[in-house]
Structure formats: C-alpha cells, structure tokens
Structure 1
Amino acid sequence: MSRVPDYAHNLSLKMSQVMDRICVSEKIVMKRRISGLLRESLFAFNHKLRDKDLNVFLFGSQIEGTTTPGLQPDVDCIISIKNYNVIQDLSAWQNGKVNLLMIQNENVSPGYCLLQALRGDAPLPQEVEVDDNFYRDRMGRLLLKNTMFDGLHDAVRNGPAHSFQGVPGLEDSDFVAALPCDLRPVQAQHWFNQHGEEHWPTSGMIQYCSNTRCFVVGVGKTGIANEKFEWRISTSFAERFLMFTLNITQIRCYVLMKMILKTFIKQRFPNSISSFMCKTVLLHCISDTRSDAWKENTLFTCLSFCLLRLYDCVQNEYCPHFFITQNNLMSGRFTPETKPLILKNLRYVIENNRRALLGIECDYFGSFLQSSLNGIEIYIPTHYMPTFIAWDILKNSALAISIEVKVLLRDVNNLSPRLAMQKLLKFISNHYFQNFIFENRKAYRLLSRYLFSTLGSILASLNINQQDNLAFKKALSCMSLGLDTDVASGKLKLASMFYCTGDNVRTELILKNIEECYDLSAVEPMCGCYFFKYAQPREKFYRLCYESIKECALLKDITASCVCFIKCERNCCPLELQHEMFRSKQENIAYRNEYEYWMDMAVVDSLPYLYFMQYKTYSRLGRQDDKQKALSNIARTIDVEPNLGHRETALNLLGQCMEQENNVENAFKCYARSHQIRGRYNWAKIHICKLLNKLINN
C-alpha cells in the first residue's frame, strides 16, 4: 500500500460519499446490528421459555451491516442443537447429553473433524449401533454422518444450509443445523495463542475470541473419501465479533469487494469465489497493515490492496482460513478451464481500476460514482434512501416480535384458562429473567409485556361473571404491565376487558387515549402473521426511523401490532370478534401450513379494531353522531390503509356493524369482499349464510 496514485485521494472520497448515499454508513450499519442482535435475543428467549432443545444465532452480512439492497442478502441462521455435547477431550464428557468426540488427525481435512459416538453412561466409545445416522468405520468407531439434518421441512439444501422462503415475519433465510462445541478447536490454537500487538486484532480481541463457542456443521470436504462423515468446524461467533470491530472504511471495502465479485465474477462463475473468501482476504489484509491506513480518503488504495491479495490467492489456489490457517478455502475450488478466465477478470479489475469501478452495476454504484466525479447531483431511488433502509430494519424487528409472541401464545391457546395462566406465569417468572444473559433481557422485557397483557385478560375472562374484586384487581395489575407493547394493542385489550364488564366510561377513556397517541401521520401497522409485501410507509415514520437509534422506543411509539385473543380470553373479547377463533374447521386444518397457527386465535389490526370498539361503546352510550363517525372511520381505514394484515377480519367486523344498523346490502358487500380477500379459513362464509337465511325468512 506504499505506492499511491495521485488521483487516489479524491477518488477515495468520492467512493466513500457514494457508499454513504447507498446506506453503507455508520448509522445504518449500527441499526442493522442492533436489530439483528435483538432478533437473535428474541429467538433465544422464545426457545428457552418453550424448553426447546435448540438455540438460533444470526450471522452473515445482515447482522454485520455489510450489505446493500442490491446484494440481496439472506438471513444466515445457525440452529444449535443443545442436547449434543461435542468434546475434544474425554474429560469434558457430560452425563445426560449425546456426547461426541472430535477426531482431528492427518486423515481428516484441516478445518474439519469426525464425530465419534460415546456412551451415555460413561466417557467411553459407543459400541452398540444407535440408528442409521451412524456408520462404523474400519477401526470399529461409530461415526456420526453429516447428513443427519437432511430432509428439513420446506427447505432447499444449499451446502450445509437449508433455505427457507416466505416465512412470516422474516426475510428469506438460510438455516444451518449445527452441533455446539464450547471449547476452541485444537486446529485454531496457534491463532488464539498469538500475542496481540497495538494494531488489529488487539490482545483483548484475541482473548474475547478465545472464549467464544464454535460449532460443527454438517458438510464435508468436497471430493474426498470421508465427505459424508466430516463435519466443518465453524468459528462464526469469533468472525462476527471481529467484523463488529471494523471501522466504516473496512466495511465499505468488503462491500465493494462483494459488488465487484457480483459484477465481474459471479455471473459467469457462480461457484468460484465466495463472499466468505472475500471476508477472509479482508481480515488478513487488515491484520497485515496498520489500523490508521484504513481511512475515508484511502478507500481506493485499501480496495486495490485487497484485490491484489485476492488475485494472489486465486493464482496460488491458496486462501487460509483466518482462524484455522491449515484450512485452505480455495483447495479444489477452480478447474483448469475456469481459473485462467477468473484471473483474467480479476486482472482487468486491478489494471483498469477506475473503469472497473464505473462498471459496477450492483446498487448503481458505477453510475452514482460517475455522477459524483462529474459534479452532478446524485438521484437516489427510494429503496436506497437511508430513511427507507431504516424503516425496513425496524419493520423486521417489529415483525419478529409479532411472530414470536404468537408462537408463545400458540402453546397455550388450547389449554384450559388455569393451565394457560400457569404456563404464562412460568414464562414471565423472575427465575427465567435472572437466568438470561444481559443481551437477552431486552427481548425478555419486550415479549413479557405481551404475555402480561394476555395473562391479565385470561384472569379477567375467568372471573368476569363471578364479581371477584380481588381477581379483577390482579387482572388489571397484569394488564397495566402490558400497556406499552406498542401504540395501541395492549391498551385495546384493556379497553376490551372494560367493555365486556360493562364499564363503558372507562372503555371510552382508554379508547380516547389510544386515538390521541395513534398519530395517523407516523404510526404503521405491523403484522407478522403471514408473509405479505408492505407498501411504502408514511414520510414521518421514515424520518423517525432514521433519526432515532433507540429501537425499543420506536417500537413502542410508532408501530401498532395486531390485537390477538386466544380462546381462554373469550369473555374479554367482543362477540363479533370471537367468531374469528373458529374460522378453521377440523377438515380444513390439513390444508394449512405450519405458520398459520394464528388462525386458531382472534387476530385483528389495531386501527380498525379501535374504531370498532368506539362504535360499540358509543352505541351503548347512545351517542349517535360519534357512533356514525366511528363506523365511517372503520370503512375509511379498510379502504385507505395499505398495510393491514387482517383486512378480511376488519371487513367482517364492519359487516356486523352494518347488520346492527339494518344496512343489509352493505353488510353483504363487506362479507363478500372479505371472502374475496381470503377464501379459505374465513368466517365471512358463515356470516353470508346467516344473512341469506335471515333475508329468506323475512
């Protein structure tokens, strides 16, 4: 990096400017990381509460913040099976777990291992064959096959990953099933034992990495005899930590490498150079240089240095893993036919660097850079605006919360009220809270609010006709802890409870408070029940998403989750909405996918439900003008709000209001429109039949 062209300084600044404009900025990177860690904590919280024998961790460019819209990243998830204990020494054997001994010798590829089965009652080799997932080798050892996770439901296999698309509340995701290993791998001991100096990685970083867990994932070295039995050692936690320590210039350099890869290499040679190789090359380059060499005005020089290093790696077919240096990531990666062509493309990029940069099609980088160099104002499409990206990040967090709440409620939906309360109390007990690590406590606070709201509603529903003041006070206390879930949903459940107890005055007060807090110019509905494409949000919502980095406060102030009632809350749910709990008949359940469990609950968007509750309350109070205004607001919301997740339910509620107004024609239109939106699992069919029967009999 010693010889720097005269134009490099100005070009670097222009490149940095363009990267900032397409949202590879410190603020957006930080937002992506906060959101990713929150979602990871939500998964951890949910699985712990439900006593699931697995953990889910997020890795890759989304949580690192090293992505752009044009790179189209998936969410990389590692599913760690907790009941397994992968050990490197028999002294780490644990009773009650499936213990597997890592075998790493000269017959095993570097960066990989074999897993030998051990007995469950003693740290000794397993002699008896367990099942078809094990294979006895020539030495008599029972080895675990790396194909044991094949056949995951609705997944497409891609190396060790299983790809899921259209999962509610999540972007398209690559899930990698893995087994945990709490000890650092023997093959990486040399890296962990090095003494960090002042430059990157420092001794503190090395110490932190040495304490992170690793995984083994089910994929072997391609083309070898042991391919079905080798397991790849993954140091994803250590890699993620190091990526979190990079400055914005280093992150931009990595993103540019991926853009160049996509423009000049991937189209013709899709399985040649991977993003992980680019990341590894970047880490080696940072390790070999001084930290102060990576500045905004040296971006071009740093990128050139990384590309030269990548070229050498391809030419020598040698790219050592950053932690396990014996593992050559490029071994056997290129054919004699493709290697010269790949080198030719890389050489073109290196020798014609400025022209190559202008030729980057990904994210319009080349066009934007040309405009910037010519002094022309850059026009950025909407989906590259920082405000849009910030909205998308917040939306993903809100949808993750929505779906995790419903997963928890699914487990209690068909229980008796008392059993449901016991399970919810177990979920939100102090014992669970105290056992969470610090990062997961934010997720605990977010989800527990929804659970408190449901717990209070069940308690009130159970005692609604028993005039039990003590139980009612307890219910009110629980529901008060769930008022700050978001702008409206927790308060709407409280209003429903008062409405169903006949307390119209307090119902009206709560509804009025919700309406005052629900800023129609800023608040966006959020529903993670099923996958649908969100329309462009409000301008004020955009701005607030970008300006604030306090994600939890944003979720509380400018998002409105759908309101959800499970069956044992029935007495605190208006009769018109109770029908939705029974929309799915037994014979139709077979047609549902595994993510449609919310159909056994009554779920409605907050805003139309607010107006529906106003209509019902004002009807009781005899305030005709307010009642008609609420009715008009329901109809207007259904027509103009683009992001309603349960529009058909809102139409069913509006239809029943129309029936109560003796407006049969419009009631029928509401039900017909509802049925058109969702033909199966919709109570609108029953409403239509009842309406026709009523008309015929009259």
Structure 2
Amino acid sequence: MQVPEHFIELSICMSEVLDDVGAGKDTVIERRGTFLWRECMMKIANTCDGKDSECFHFGSQSEGTTIPGLESDIDFLLTSNEVVNIMKVWTDWKAGMKNLLMLRDDTTPAQQYLLQIYRRDTPEPETSLYDDHFVRKYSGQVLLSADRFKDLIDKQIENRKDVTRNGPSVSNTPNWDIVHAIHVCKPLPEIQKWIERCKGRQWPPVHLLETARVAPNFLVPAGHPDSDYKREEWRLSPNLIERMLMFSFNMTQIKCYIVLKLINKSLLSKLVGDSITSFHSKTIMFYTIERTHPSLWVEHNLMFLLWLCLNVFRKFLRLGRLPHYIIHGVNLFDGKLSKVQQRCLLEFIDSMIRSNLREVFDIDIDKIGCRLQALSILRLVNTGEIRRVCLRDSISLLLKFECVFIFLNRLFTFKYQMHSCITTIKQSIRYLLRKFVYSSTNIRLKTVALDFIKHLYALQNSMHSSYCLQLRTIIDSKVIRRFQYSFDTDVASSRLKLASILYCSGHIHAAARVLENAEKRFHSKVKAVCNCRRIDGDDDINLFNAMRSDKSVNGFSELPFAFCVNFSRQELYCTPFILLFEMNRNITAEEVAQRNSADKKWMDSAEIDACPFLHYLQYLTYGALGKRNKQLHYLRCFETYVCHGRNRNNMHHRETALNLLGHCYEMEGNFIKALCFYVMSLHYSGKNNAANWHVGRC
C-alpha cells in the first residue's frame, strides 16, 4: 500500500515529542522496575505478617506505557495463596480449605464463572447458607457471590466514606484501582486454546507462550452486564499473560500504544466519554502486532503503524465487536459501547484514516499537538534533549519518592505491630530480621530485603544504645560503628539519630562532628519524606523538576530525600528531653479517642522532620560546647527555616518543630517568645499536641 510521504518525518517528530513528555526508554524501564520493586516489598511484608499472599501491579504505570498528562491510575491486585482452593472438577477437593468449584454452562457468558461452595470436611457441595456471602442458585447450588464478596472488602476498609467501586475494584485510595482476586493455578481451556491458536506465528514468541501455559490466572468479582447472574459471577482475567505480552513490546510498539491512548483520551472521549478504555487500545495493539511483520516496528514507521492500528480498529467497529485477544467469545464492546456510539466512532476513525492522521495535531494532552507543530517546523533537537533529560529525571525522582514513602509506611507498620505484640520488642526485631534474611536469599527479593534489614538494624542499635544509657553504661565505638551500616538509607536521619545518642551520652565533640557532616549533605534540593503524613502537592511533578534543576539524578551521590527522625519509647534515654513530651502529647483521654488509625501508629512516639531536628541539635550541642556565637547562629537558622513560608510544604510535623523552637527560647530565658511559638504550634494542631504541656509550663 502507498505510504504518505510525510509519515516518515512525522514519525520521527512524534517519537521525539514522546521522549520529551516522558515516554523515553530510560523512563519506561524505570517505571517497570519501580513497580516490580513495590511488588517485592509487599511480598516480603506479607510474609512477615504471616500471610501467604501475592500483590501485583498491572496496567499502564507498571508497564511503563504512560506519560504524566495521561494521569493513569495505579492498578493493584491482591490474591491469597491460602485457605481457598479452586477446583475445575470435584476431585480437586482439599480437606480443611474453602473449596470452590468453577461452574459454567451454555448460558454462561464467555470469560464468566460461578463459584460453587464445597464443604471443608467432605468433598460434597455445601447446602447451607451459613455465610452472608453465600447465595442459592435456582437449581439449589450454593454460590459465593461476587457482589457480597466486594461488600466484605468494603466493610474491612477503615475509612469507608472514601470507598469507591469501579468494576471489580473496591478502593479508598484516590487514583488506585484495588482488586481482591482469587488465583487459579490449574490449566484452563480458554488459555490453552489461545496458546494453540498462536503457535507458529512470529508473535507472541514461543518462550512467552510456554510461560503463559503455567502462569496463574485470576478470578475477579465482576459479572457480565447482560447476564442473569451478574451479581454472582466472577470474571476470568489473564493479567499476568497480558503483562508478559506488554513487556515483550519494543519501544516503537510502546510509543504506538501511548499515541493510541492519547487519541482515546484527547479526541475519542469527546465523542463517547470514557466508554473506550486503555484495554481496548491494548487489544487493538495485540491484533496489529500479531498481523504485522516485526521488521516494520521501527521508529520511522511509527505513524504508518498507528495508521494500521486505526484500520484494525475500524474493521472491528464495522463488525460491531472487538474480540478479547486471549479469551475466545468475549466482545469488549459489550456493556461499554452502544451501537450509536460505535457508528459515531467509526465515522471519526474513518475520517482520521482518510486525512492521513492530521488529527494528531489536535492532541492537547501535554501539548502534544503544539509540540509536534513546533518540532516539524524548527526541529530544535538540542533544546529538546535538555527538556527530555529534565522530565526524565523529574519522573525518576517522583517514582523513587513514591517507593520511599510506601516503604517507610510499611516499615512503620512493622514497628507499630512490634509495640502491640505480646512478645518483647527485642524478640520481635530478631523475628523480623530472620524473615528478612531468609527473603534476601531469593534473588528477586534481595534488594528490598536488604533495605528492610538496614532500617531494622538501625532501630536495634538505637534501642541498645538507650538501654546502655539507662544503665549508665559507656557506649563504645563498636556500637557507634554499627550505625554506619544504615547511613546510606537517606541524607540525614540515621546521622541525626547517632548525633542525638552521642549528645545524650555526653560525647559532645563527637556529636558536633556528626552534625557538621549531616549539614554538609543537607543541600537546598533535599525533600523531606514522612511515613505518616502527606502534604498536598507532595507528588507534584514540578516539585521534582525543581529538585533536579542543578544536576541530574545521576549527579547526586545519593537520593535527595531526608526521612523524619522517629524515637520510640524504647529509645527514651537517647532522646533529647523535650521530645519526651511528644510521646505524651495528649492532655485528656478524649484527645486519644480523636486519633485516626494512622495517628495511632505514631503519636505515642516522637516524630520530627530532619532539618528542624538538625538545627535543634546544633543549638544544644554548640551550647554545651560553650560556642555561643555558633549556638545563636543555628538558632537563627532554625527560626528562619520554621517561619519561612517556602519551607511549609517541606515540613510534615510543623507543630513539633515550633515546639522545639519554643524550647530553644525557653533556654534563652525569653519566655514570652517561647510562649508565642507554642501558641503558634497550637494554631496548627490544637489537639494531640505537646504544646498544651509547654504552654502550661510557661
């Protein structure tokens, strides 16, 4: 067929524009690595909690097939490997488990199953509705209802007012689709039929088909819209196979898919709203790649390949059905696109094909159309390269920030569970360390396990130091050297913990040296990260662009993040005296009752942002050394940092920072100014604030 002459130039321009807006190879690889890392982190965490379960990230974020302007949701799937046994035939029954038999007949829509309950003590069908999640079919069979299963998940979520349901998803987290699924490890005829159909083709590759043959699939709680049993039905989802197919894409295929999604969200949505999803675009990509020679998938053919994809889409719109790529008999238009909408889309796609894709210049997401026009005219390759590096590094920092936040949050949950445990803290730490060391023997989990070990080892050292100070035992150099193992966790928090221990133990000169080192590392681009509080705009891509304005991510010797410093009650003796009030921040029992589930995890400990704590320790340390000028210098630095508006979005515990600043002025004998800072602290947080104690003292 005749390829329009301008397609080659337009293809190169589109490829460069996509690189500029965050779809370059480095970013795609980093997105994939980030979400696979998060899966490993959750796997280890669940193992330590005694749960045999798996967590998966699916969708655009984990595939690396998105850009900031698409604002893609995060798709998260959880499945348990215990308790539930899925049966294809009753002979698969296992004693002591919840046995579920997959049922379907000629009237059941493709991809859908009913799950019949079998007894735990004998391989016979259950006859009693002893569970609220069971329903009885007209034939008398007792089924596990998908809708009632989602009701159970809904009731288990603490902040239920924020819960949203979207298909099989039940989530209370904005921009997250969270699906609780049941895994199926047995061979399924739908999957085997697809594998046989694909044999001998150039794509998918043979090794992928062999892996797909043994890959687990999932049953998610979602019924067919036209089914009589849509409230009871479960949908078969081959998510892992689809992810393998996406991971086999080369960069041209990834960019073609992203442009399809851009067309969908920027142009087609104006015609049919959100009826066309990224899964429709993904399916069109699968069919196009399967029918196209691999040698065509190169950068200068990008627009021609997009044109082929739209031709495939037009063909399916004319047929009135878009077949699921893997599962035979499923029409992806069902329940999504009416016949009127299909005709409307057909007219637009047909017009787009006949105009040789002129409409791509109308894509407004991330100003794709404007960028294309400018690049076609000017081809500013050098400035384009600079913009590309800026956005790539900004996205990289954002991905790392999200990883760090989730990691710290999970780590703090471990600490909270240890304090709530009937065993001693030391026993709990040893138990977790053994679990992490065991996980580190798995090559896939090793990196994450070592990160957990570093943080837990630092806590163990700090608690041991506090115990030594309680017994008035001298802290030797061996204990101090152990802290070095955790120094690279972030910019400053481990060093500040060590400086606090040295100050409390009377090693003032050593504390000053550690603080000097911490201050040098605390450059202006460091971002505070808190595991228990988020600030609006924490994940704004522009914020991370400002962080990397002087040098790229690769130019940093370490990630520019500073974690909050936390002292538990087991670290009393290596904590500055004034922070002990933070461990008893409530005046009345009523205040404790007002704490939400997140507050309960940290409000019985002292938590302070790294930079304010650095300046507070500097004030104490240089005062103890008799260096009055330095002491006053750091008091001014402390006050400037806390009171300057530009730092408000980088402080998660501003009320605590104000309390420490007030204490500095108490030590200066300026009680009026100290009282002003305590009152200011109460202005930000009137309840569960140690400032209530400090005001009383003043």
Shift, 1:514, TM fit = 2.1
Q: 1:295 to 1:52 in 2, by over 3 A?
A: same
| Letter of the 1:231 counterpart | W
Q: Residue 216 of structure 1 aligns to a residue in which SS?
A: strand
Q: TM-score, normalised by structure 2?
A: 0.90
In structure 1, the residue matched to 2:144 is 144
Kindly indicate whether residue 669 of structure 2 is the aligned counterpart of residue 662 of structure 1. Answer: yes
> Are the equivalent residues in 1 in contact too, given 2:436–2:449 (CA < 8 A)?
no
Kindly indicate whether residue 583 of structure 2 is the aligned counterpart of residue 581 of structure 1. Answer: yes
Shift, 1:252, TM fit = 1.0
In structure 2, the residue matched to 1:447 is 452
Shift, 1:544, TM fit = 5.3
Counterpart pick for 2:548 among 532, 541, 551: 541
Kindly indicate whether residue 505 of structure 2 is the aligned counterpart of residue 501 of structure 1. Answer: yes
Counterpart pick for 2:400 among 394, 405, 408: 394
| Letter of the 2:463 counterpart | I
Task: Deviation per CA, 1:194-242: give whole Å up to 9, x if none.
Answer: 5655732111111222232221111100121010111011111221122
> Are the equivalent residues in 1 in contact too, given 2:439–2:445 (CA < 8 A)?
no
In structure 1, the residue matched to 2:48 is 49
Q: Distance in 1 between matches of 2:609 and 2:565?
A: 6
In structure 1, the residue matched to 2:227 is 224
| Letter of the 1:213 counterpart | P
Q: Residue 428 of structure 1 aligns to a residue in which SS?
A: helix
Kindly indicate whether residue 567 of structure 2 is the aligned counterpart of residue 568 of structure 1. Answer: no
In structure 2, the residue matched to 1:297 is 300
Q: Distance in 1 between matches of 2:265 and 2:45?
A: 37
Q: 1:409 to 1:541 in 2, by over 3 A?
A: farther
Q: 1:184 to 1:501 in 2, by over 3 A?
A: farther
Q: Residue 109 of structure 1 aligns to a residue in which SS?
A: coil
In structure 2, the residue matched to 1:483 is 487
* Aligned positions of 1:622-633 closer than 5 A: 622-633=626-637
Q: Distance in 1 between matches of 2:388 and 2:672?
A: 42
Q: 1:134 to 1:659 in 2, by over 3 A?
A: same
In structure 1, the residue matched to 2:656 is 649
| Letter of the 2:425 counterpart | A
| Letter of the 1:406 counterpart | F
Counterpart pick for 1:459 among 448, 461, 464: 464
| Letter of the 1:620 counterpart | A
Shift, 1:519, TM fit = 4.2
| Letter of the 1:566 counterpart | S
In structure 1, the residue matched to 2:417 is 411
> Are the equivalent residues in 1 in contact too, given 2:219–2:237 (CA < 8 A)?
yes
> Are the equivalent residues in 1 in contact too, given 2:21–2:388 (CA < 8 A)?
no
Shift, 1:478, TM fit = 5.7
Q: 1:52 to 1:336 in 2, by over 3 A?
A: same
In structure 2, the residue matched to 1:696 is none
> Are the equivalent residues in 2 in contact too, given 1:263–1:360 (CA < 8 A)?
yes
Kindly indicate whether residue 208 of structure 2 is the aligned counterpart of residue 205 of structure 1. Answer: yes
Q: Distance in 2 between matches of 1:482 and 1:123?
A: 53
Q: 1:94 to 1:661 in 2, by over 3 A?
A: farther
In structure 2, the residue matched to 1:64 is 63
* Aligned positions of 1:125-164 closer than 5 A: 125-147=125-147, 148-150=149-151, 151=154, 152=157, 153=160, 154-164=162-172
Shift, 1:651, TM fit = 1.5
Counterpart pick for 1:265 among 256, 263, 268: 268
Task: Deviation per CA, 1:576-634: give whole Å up to 9, x if none.
Answer: 12222222553234433333333332111112212212222222222212222222222
Q: Distance in 2 between matches of 1:662 and 1:103?
A: 78
Task: Deviation per CA, 1:624-645: give whole Å up to 9, x if none.
Answer: 1222222222223322534222
Task: Deviation per CA, 1:162-196: give whole Å up to 9, x if none.
Answer: 24346xxxxx3111111122234331111234565
Task: Deviation per CA, 1:84-138: give whole Å up to 9, x if none.
Answer: 2323244544444322222233232211211111222344323333312111223
Q: Distance in 1 between matches of 2:210 and 2:194?
A: 11
Q: Distance in 1 between matches of 2:244 and 2:201?
A: 18
Task: Deviation per CA, 1:326-366: give whole Å up to 9, x if none.
Answer: 32222343323332222222223222243211111122111
Q: Distance in 2 between matches of 1:393 and 1:605?
A: 21
Shift, 1:251, TM fit = 0.9
Q: 1:205 to 1:655 in 2, by over 3 A?
A: same
| Number of residue pairs the alignment of both structures matches | 677
Q: Residue 176 of structure 1 aligns to a residue in which SS?
A: strand
Moved more, 646-655 or 501-510: 501-510
> Are the equivalent residues in 2 in contact too, given 1:127–1:142 (CA < 8 A)?
yes
In structure 1, the residue matched to 2:73 is 74
In structure 1, the residue matched to 2:109 is 109
| Letter of the 2:609 counterpart | D
Q: 1:237 to 1:679 in 2, by over 3 A?
A: farther
Structure 2: gaps of 5 or more residues: none
Kindly indicate whether residue 85 of structure 2 is the aligned counterpart of residue 85 of structure 1. Answer: yes
Q: Distance in 1 between matches of 2:441 and 2:216?
A: 17
Q: Residue 482 of structure 1 aligns to a residue in which SS?
A: helix
Shift, 1:387, TM fit = 2.9
Q: TM-score, normalised by structure 1?
A: 0.90
Q: Distance in 1 between matches of 2:578 and 2:356?
A: 66
In structure 1, the residue matched to 2:609 is 605
Kindly indicate whether residue 127 of structure 2 is the aligned counterpart of residue 124 of structure 1. Answer: no
Q: Distance in 2 between matches of 1:344 and 1:680?
A: 61
User: Comparing both chains, which one has the higher relative contact order based on Cα–Cα distances under 8 Å and sequence gaps of 6 or more?
Assistant: 1
* Aligned positions of 1:149-548 closer than 5 A: 149-150=150-151, 151=154, 152=157, 153=160, 154-165=162-173, 172-193=175-196, 196-197=199-200, 199-375=202-378, 377=380, 385-414=391-420, 419-429=424-434, 433-434=438-439, 437-467=442-472, 476=480, 479-516=483-520, 518-532=521-535, 533-534=537-538, 536-537=543-544, 539=546, 541=548, 546-547=553-554
> Are the equivalent residues in 2 in contact too, given 1:454–1:479 (CA < 8 A)?
no
In structure 1, the residue matched to 2:682 is 675
In structure 2, the residue matched to 1:694 is none
Q: Residue 332 of structure 2 aligns to a residue in which SS?
A: coil
Shift, 1:19, TM fit = 0.9
Q: Distance in 1 between matches of 2:691 and 2:321?
A: 64
Q: Distance in 1 between matches of 2:371 and 2:102?
A: 51
Q: Residue 276 of structure 1 aligns to a residue in which SS?
A: helix
Q: 1:521 to 1:271 in 2, by over 3 A?
A: closer
Q: 1:514 to 1:184 in 2, by over 3 A?
A: farther
> Are the equivalent residues in 1 in contact too, given 2:662–2:674 (CA < 8 A)?
yes
Q: Distance in 2 between matches of 1:192 and 1:594?
A: 47
Q: Distance in 2 between matches of 1:119 and 1:90?
A: 11
Q: Distance in 2 between matches of 1:459 and 1:161?
A: 45
Q: Distance in 2 between matches of 1:589 and 1:493?
A: 27
> Are the equivalent residues in 1 in contact too, given 2:528–2:609 (CA < 8 A)?
yes
| Letter of the 1:78 counterpart | L
| Letter of the 2:170 counterpart | H
Shift, 1:60, TM fit = 0.9
Task: Deviation per CA, 1:256-312: give whole Å up to 9, x if none.
Answer: 111111122223422422111111110121122122211110110111111111122
Q: Distance in 1 between matches of 2:233 and 2:268?
A: 29
In structure 1, the residue matched to 2:696 is 689
Q: Distance in 1 between matches of 2:94 and 2:481?
A: 43
Shift, 1:475, TM fit = 5.7
